[in-house]
Amino acid sequence: MKYSISFNCLPEEEKNDALLRSKAVKALRKQGISIGEKQISSFVFKKKSIDARKRDIKLFLRYDVYTDGDKPEDDQDAEFLPHWKNVRGEKRVLIIGAGPAGLFAALTLLEAGIKPIIVERGPETSQRKRDIADISRTGVLNIDSNYCFGEGGAGTFSDGKLFSRSAKRGNIGRVLQILAFHGADGKILTDAHPHIGTDKLPVIIDNIKKTIVSYGGEIYFNSRCTEILTEKKSGVLAAAAAGDKPVETCVIQVICGVKVVDTHTGEERVIKGDKLILACGHSAPDIYKMLEAVDKKALEAKTFAVGVRVEHPREVIDKIQYHGRERGEVLPAAEYRLTTQVDGRGVYSFCMCPGGLVVPSASSPDGVVVNGMSPSSRNAYWSNAAIVVECRPEDYVSWGDFPSDPLAGLNFRTQIEQAAKKAATQAALDRQGALDTPMRDGKPINPQTAPAQKLTDFLAGKVSETLPKTSYTPGISSVNLDEVLPEHISKRLKEGFHAFDQRMKGFVCGEALLIAPETRTSTPVRILRDAKTLESPSIKGLFPAGEGSGYAGGIVSSAMDGENSAKAIISAVQKAGK
């Protein structure tokens, strides 16, 4: 027989197998099942989470218990068995973007014997590492190879968090199994909040690439899409997601390929295809402008969030969350999740990186953007998180013709990023010699220097005379962030921080540092698609997918959305072949 049980234990008891088996027997008795420890034939660990709500910290463990000689079924505990096929035939699908959505879409297409052809503007991870290092060392930013663009997308150089509440979108376990098959630690299958770490992700992403290529898929790196090619035909398109009936026969736009340019040689080429999965990520405004040129009705403005990164010494957060207890070697670096409502808008923490670093995530030299990441050990001196304010399309009215301009949010985002760079640069020049950054062009300023302010000074509305040490290696410059952020965001952030300090006493402290801006929480644009077919309602053959299209928010949800788009194409191809 198989029984599922759960019980608590102290952190120091986790490795005591005899004690855990004893607790398992007691848990079974609570279910009315009386057996002895010797009757347990298999004791399979399934999930672990930490309960730190009270001073006595406990682990919450879940096990499957097998009795009377029974053994585990072939499920998550079994080795993942791939079903990819070698593809050499005529059927093929174009994919823009080699992030989680694009890569997992490609793997899904391989299962159906369809050749995926991925076009990625950035390079492979080996070159991308060097380009990313240059951002911190010299401030030189490659617009096609940075924290946003390149093999694996923005997720490659991130914390690698795999926790997702998007269970209805697909099979979370399958995504985790595929990552484990390609080299991720097996703990991701059992941890309640699994993560991989920025030091491990590049190898895993490289292994996924090798799988795709080995089965006949094609990947073109350093190949920026410059035009989405369509042709006009008579036909019928499904109505937008709001409706169920097709529109009348009319002239429609149909995908026929993409035009790409080699970012090294400048050579242009056309890649033909009538099915296109658009998985470009949240930082490619040129893609949205291409679609707008094809059909403005393909896009709409959407809600996203803007704010700052707050950075504390890791020990500060550990002591708050673990009630003053020393973390030691048993407990992981502490996490937090905070949310509140201020004047009708959500204010919340996002992408919390325990034992992590704040990194430069701009994709254009005109602006400054910050993000967070953690190594697998999560043992850096600092912990950080984005604290952001919900921004709705009506908030973009000063940056576009709302509601008719679907790109108003992009303009809103760009203005903030450019204001941040201007303020940080000017403050650094005003205080020459006060900023510890590399010299460049005779000026003591890295072009990716970010504006920063002590949290206590932000709340008091004054410029910080001194700033704490930071993990942000390009350097920081003391700026009143009220001058960088729109007033409706700044005001809500301040009220949010006061609320968060009530929940986490000591969160607002002299050691807490704000670095701005955090603007890439998601895209401010949605590429419309039919709810059932996942195809664009105005451009036939276009399948928007992932975070950049407005349908996901992280590695796992993006991967599942890519899989779903691929499955929709497979279904359409199979239906057409009947």
Instruction: Write the pLDDT tens digit of every residue in 67-90.
Output: 777 766 544 445 567 889 999 777
**AA identity, residue 549:** S
329 vs 507, higher pLDDT: 507
Identify whether the C-beta of residue 520 lies closer than 8 Å to the C-beta of residue 282.
Answer: yes
| Residues above pLDDT 90, as percent of the chain | 64
- Residue 234 neighbours by CB under 8 Å, 6+ apart: 249, 250, 251, 252
The span from the CA of 287 to the CA of 121, in Å, is 11
The span from the CA of 499 to the CA of 343, in Å, is 13
What are the distances in angstroms from CA 77 to CA 7, 173, 180? 20, 11, 12
Task: Look at residues 212, 10, 220 and name the one whose alpha carbon lies nearest to residue 103.
Answer: 212
Average pLDDT over the chain reads 88
DSSP 13: G
> Residue 437's pLDDT is what?
45
Q: Which two tokens stand for residue 292?
A: 């707008």
> Residue 249's pLDDT is what?
63
**AA identity, residue 380:** A
- Rounded to an integer, the average pLDDT of 132-158 is 90
- Rounded to an integer, the average pLDDT of 296-304 is 94
- State whether residue 291 is helix, strand or coil: helix
Q: Which two tokens stand for residue 499?
A: 């609320």
The span from the CA of 156 to the CA of 176, in Å, is 15
Task: Look at residues 28, 61, 31 and name the one whose alpha carbon lies nearest to residue 46.
Answer: 61
Task: Look at residues 108, 42, 53, 104 and name the one whose alpha carbon lies nearest to residue 77.
Answer: 42
> Residue 329's pLDDT is what?
73
> Residue 169's pLDDT is what?
78
- pLDDT of 150 strictly over 50: yes
The span from the CA of 44 to the CA of 238, in Å, is 48
229 - beta bridge partners? 257
For residue 468, cis peptide bond before it (omega within 30 degrees of 0): no
Task: Look at residues 492, 82, 39 and name the one whose alpha carbon lies nearest to residue 305.
Answer: 492
- pLDDT of 440 strictly over 70: no
Instruction: Write down the pTM of the prediction.
Output: 0.86
Q: How many CB atoms lie within 10 A of CB 54?
A: 8
- pLDDT of 241 strictly over 70: no
Kindly state the helix (H) or strand (E) to which residue 480 belongs, with its residue range. Answer: none
Identify whether the C-beta of residue 302 lies closer than 8 Å to the C-beta of residue 525.
Answer: yes
- Rounded to an integer, the average pLDDT of 435-462 is 78
The span from the CA of 310 to the CA of 455, in Å, is 8
The span from the CA of 525 to the CA of 409, in Å, is 7
Q: Which two tokens stand for residue 519?
A: 């603007």
48 - beta bridge partners? 61, 191
Minimum mean pLDDT range among 83-97, 257-271, 330-344, 395-409: 395-409
User: What's the Rg (C-alpha) of the chain?
Assistant: 25
pLDDT tier, 435 (very low <50, low <70, confident <90, very high otherwise): very low
Phi-psi region of 94 (alpha: psi -120 to 50; beta: other; left: phi over 0): beta
Helix and strand numbers, DSSP H then E, in the chain = 11, 23
Top-confidence range, 46-50, 56-60, 162-166, 347-351: 347-351
- pLDDT of 442 strictly over 70: no
Identify whether the C-beta of residue 141 lies closer than 8 Å to the C-beta of residue 88.
Answer: no
The span from the CA of 307 to the CA of 489, in Å, is 7
